[in-house]
Chain A
Amino acid sequence: MKKNQELLLAMNEIDEKYIEEASTFKKAKKISIAKLSAIAAAIVLICGAGLSIYLSAPLGKNGLYDNLPKADENPPIIEIGDITNLGMGFEGYLANDVSELVNANPWSEDMNIEALPVFENTYYDKSSGNPKKPDFEAMEQRLLEICERMGVDSKDVVIQNNYPPEDVIKDITEKFQSIGQSVPPEFFSISCVYVVADGIEITVDSNLETQIDFKPAIKLPEKYNFAHFASYEETSSVGEYLKKEYKDLIGIKNPTADIYGGDYTYSGDQGYKIQFFDNEGNIAENIINYNFNRVSFACNDSGALFIARIAKPDLSKKIGTYPIISAEEARKLLTEGKYITTCDKFPGEEYIRKTELVYREGKYEKVYMPYYRILVELPELKSGGLNCYGAYYVPAVKEEYISDMPLWDGSFN
């Protein structure tokens, strides 16, 4: 047997605690058919906190439709960029009917929203196409802020990072030198800072995304069923409990629970997840908060709270406020092939099942802009009596302001 094969097989004998550790440290944003059910069970944790005012109009305090943003006269042309190589999984949801797929998206089709802001993704380096250098000061500041919110005295904490130790650096440097090369720039880099405190570990990455690991995981009172496949009602009840218990961590003025999901795994299990967003302000602000200002909680397989996550995308660089198209116009563009999807070719207008407005906020998006996410029934992917609903994204910003309007070219895009 070859040595590498022997090593691969020897990995089967590793301590089970490491298998356990690696199995629970995961998250995913979508259910992936290609990756079967593990991604479905993974924790969806897109969140954020402390969003400031980013809309061009002043905050409306009187009602949902007060002071809605107006489109700029000549906003700059937007470049969506190449998002074909972002490692996105197949975004499809299994359900008996599309009505089972729920969330608390504040947008609805009857709203008359004429314009929404578009932001530069400051994490993204335009020239290289790679993430920018981490801002360590911001990372540490964020870490200390979360420490305070978790009741950890920031004066007592020791901030650590994942920079490799000297001996490793020396070894690798010598290895490169031995083949006549130098260590590539940024090879030794810090990608996260963290603090270990009593019962928790707080980690902030270079995108200022924060994860709180509860160690050990916290068992909720007996009456709450915090499990992957708890019912909607049970999950809502857990949400109410978490909202009160972790008020400071959530740190949102008017936290609204978003119990979302309702899709099924291949095993036929239906599940929901919990996050909170700020529902304070006018409808445009609610949309921004729903997409960017969220705090999520997740259970482990034993039904105990083991992770909370807070994301805080930097929305400080607004490109402009853009006129947006209607949902009906978006569906027409979908039929013309002007969409982004990880599913197959759009099967036809008769299969459109649901439309909602969302911001795509992945860290590799060049800009944070609104899209219509249109759920389409995929008849060829029906599984075990369940329908599969694929997500198709059509830019909500008017086409004349986009330099590289997506056009489906027969591949995953």
Chain B
Amino acid sequence: MDDKRIIELFWARSEQAITETANKYQKQLCFLSYNILGDKEDSEECANDTYLRAWNSIPPKRPECLRGFLLKIARNLSLNKLKLYTAQKRGGGQTELALCELEECVSSDISVEEEAEAHFLKEAINQFLAELPKKARIIFVRRYFYLCSVADIAKGLSLTESDVKSTLFRARNKLKLHLEKEGVFI
């Protein structure tokens, strides 16, 4: 089903929106989540949580790109879950665990300075991506947004792992220079 139609279903509060979203994007959401968590059940759970988050966000939001919107939610949820697991693994880190659990409740508690910094960082990264050659950009995004392994990227793009590594190396250097130039983050 067309994304616009799915978004209309969300706005109409039709539960079919969830079904259609799952039909269309379950694979991609699980894939991204699995890259982060390495667990099939966890990745499916994150995908399900993504639908719930989308249900709660649309309306009022009306995402221009539904796929990107969902993937961002899934990525955030997966990273949060990973953080939680990492804290659990440390053993006895109940404070960290509790903080992780409470993090969702206090997500808006950031200073104006932090918000401004985050905004500039976002702008700088988008500008950096816009200037990257297409192939390097795809490799960079697959590595640092989708969190795919170098081997998977190489396989997916018919490149050698060494090609991917050197592209990433160059891109990281370029990003560092770009952030320095923009006065962000360094």
Contact = CB atoms under 8 A, between A and B. Distances in A.
B28 A38 contact: yes
B125 A11 contact: yes
B161 to A, nearest CB: 7
Given A19-B67, A28-B155, 7 more contacts: A6-B121, A7-B125, A10-B122, A12-B72, A22-B138, A130-B162, A209-B158
Contacts of A19: 65, 67-68, 71-72, 141, 145
Interface in A5-36: 6-23, 25-28, 35-36
Contacts of B125: 7, 10-11, 13-14
Closest A-B pairs by Cβ, 6 of them = A16-B68, A38-B31, A37-B27, A16-B65, A22-B141, A87-B151
A164 B68 CA distance: 29
Interface in A330-356: none
Interface in B138-177: 138, 141-142, 144-146, 151-152, 154-163, 166, 169-170, 173-174, 177
A363 interface: yes
Interface string A110-134: 0000000000000000000011000
A80 to B, nearest CB: 20
Interface size of B as a range: 35 or more
Given A9-B79, A19-B72, A14 B31 contact: no
A49 B161 CA distance: 27
Q: Which of A8, A22, A41, A265 has most B Cβ within 10 Å?
A: A22
B22 interface: yes
Contacts of A131: 160
Contact of A18 (B75, B129, B157, B163): B129
A37 B26 contact: yes
A36 B31 contact: yes
Contacts of A87: 151-152, 154-155, 161
A23 B34 CA distance: 15
A168 B174 contact: yes
B88 interface: no
Interface in B100-144: 118, 121-122, 125-126, 129, 133-138, 141-142, 144
Interface string A183-227: 000010101100000000000010101000000000000000000
A187 B137 contact: no
A3 B170 contact: no
B173 A168 contact: yes
A405 B21 CA distance: 48
A26 B157 contact: yes
Interface string A362-380: 0100000000000000000
A40 interface: yes
Nearest to A269: B23
Contacts of A26: 142, 156-157
Q: Which of A23, A40, A168, A172 has most B Cβ within 10 Å?
A: A23
Contacts of B158: 27, 205, 207, 209, 363
A10 B177 CA distance: 17
A18 B145 CA distance: 10
Interface residues of A, number: 55
6 contacts: A18-B129, A22-B137, A36-B34, A38-B27, A269-B23, A301-B24
A172 B170 contact: yes
A209 B26 CA distance: 30
Contacts of B79: 8-9
Contacts of B154: 87
B86 to A, nearest CB: 11
Interface string A231-271: 00000000000000000000000000000000001110100
Contacts of A8: 79, 144
Nearest to B126: A15
B85 interface: no
A175 interface: yes
A162 interface: yes
A36 B26 CA distance: 10
B16 interface: no
Given A16-B68, A87-B151, A267 B26 contact: yes
A308 interface: no
A91 to B, nearest CB: 13
Q: Which of A20, A26, A175, A301 has most B Cβ within 10 Å?
A: A26
B121 A37 contact: no
B141 to A, nearest CB: 4
Nearest to A192: B135
A36 B43 contact: yes
Contact of A302 (B2, B138, B141): B2
A190 B141 CA distance: 21
B144 A11 contact: yes
A171 interface: yes
A9 B145 CA distance: 9
B27 A267 contact: yes
B27 A15 contact: no
A162 B160 contact: no
